Amino acid sequence: MFRRIFAVFSGIASLVFIIALPSQAQEQWSWPEKPENLQVLPKDWPGSRLSAPMRGFTRALGVRCSYCHVGEEGKPLSTYDFASDENQNKNRTREMLRMLGSVNKHLDKLEPSGDKRVNMWCHTCHRGRPRPMTLGEELGETYRAKGVEAALALYTELKKNYYGKGVYNFEGERALNEFGYAALGNNDAAGAIRVFQLNVDKFPESANGWDSLAEAYMKAGDMKMAEKYYEKSLELNPRNQNASDMLKKIKEDEGD
Ligand code: HEC
Ligand code: HEC
């Protein structure tokens, strides 16, 4: 039973495991006949019914059993203590299950506008990550903890691992723009300039990207560069009211 499940989310790893450890490959873990500690899922569920939701959780969050259970990655599952609540993520997940229950109660009140109601899954929010943040939020969090360079390194790493997988939105200037504003909000104009500059290098057609870069230069007190980039932004989008207001202001200040 377990081997089949293991194969689903880790086919290659399980093969290696079997070859390397032929005796342990027969590892006698199976779903408990009677789970001891179900608090949200129906208490009378036999252990085998847990297989689908547990596997679903690992896929929806892009994690392994040990993310929510007491046990060590790489050790046989028979050494895990699945009934224990010591791993915080287990209770967090219970709260998520309760949340889904209440969301579904609200959704049930709506007349579906399609042929059937849209389901809400863990995956709807999590999209293969344990904490469902946008790319901009994720970069902002790393920036606040470790600074600009660490966040830019994270951007490169996430792009390498997740591009095209529908986990993060790498299209357009939005994510780096959001990250740049996290720096600007932190009075870190130099950091913001670094991020916005990278953004316009990647997305040179984005009027919004140039507008943000101009704003960071303005905060840094470099009116010349601010003027240049507001002009660039206006060129790309003649209806950018903010850029024309700012240009007017810069010219007025120059006149003083
Ligand atoms: C995202 C978190 C999460 C992941 C990942 C996860 N579980 Fe669970 N698991 C839970 C929660 C929460 C419960 C308790 C549900 C409840 O209280 O109704 C649970 C309960 C169980 C139980 C019942 C234990 C008992 O005796 O009460 C078993 C067995 C179990 N999980 C096995 C697994 C296995 C095997 C995996 C990996 C394939 C896994 N789980 C992955 C959150 C998770
Ligand atoms: C409505 C959106 C939404 C749905 C649906 C949802 N989650 Fe979450 N979940 C979140 C958010 C947002 C957080 C992050 C909270 C934070 O860290 O600030 C989170 C956090 C978590 C965490 C803690 C992660 C950590 O490292 O702190 C776990 C575990 C988790 N969710 C599991 C699940 C599971 C399993 C399901 C499906 C049963 C689920 N979630 C459904 C939005 C959702």
Range of the domain at 230: 135-255
d(CA 9, CA 189): 44
Chain mean position to CA 238: 34
Reply yes or no on whether the pLDDT at 171 is more than 80: yes
Q: What is the pLDDT of residues 83-128, one digit of tens each?
A: 999 999 999 999 999 999 999 999 999 999 999 888 899 999 999 9
pTM over 0.85: no
Name the closest-CA residue to atom 37, ligand 2: 122
> For ligand 2, which residues put their CB under 6 angstroms from it?
57, 61, 89, 92-93, 96-97, 100, 120, 122, 124-126, 130-132
118 backbone dihedrals φ, ψ, rounded to 5°: -75, 130
Instruction: Name 81's bridge partners.
Output: 70
- Residue 27 is predicted with a pLDDT of 65
Higher per-residue confidence, 206 vs 22: 206
Q: Identify the residue with better confidence: 10 or 199.
A: 199
Residues 241, 199 within the same domain: yes
95 & 107 share domain: yes
Do both 112 and 162 map to the same domain? no
pLDDT at 17: 37
Which residue in 8, 23, 143, 147 sits closest to 76, CA to CA? 23
Residues 122 and 152 occupy one common structural domain: no
Domain count, the chain: 2
Contact 29, 82 (CB under 8 A): no
Best of 37, 70, 82, 97 for a ligand 1 pocket test (most atoms within 8 Å of beta carbon):
82
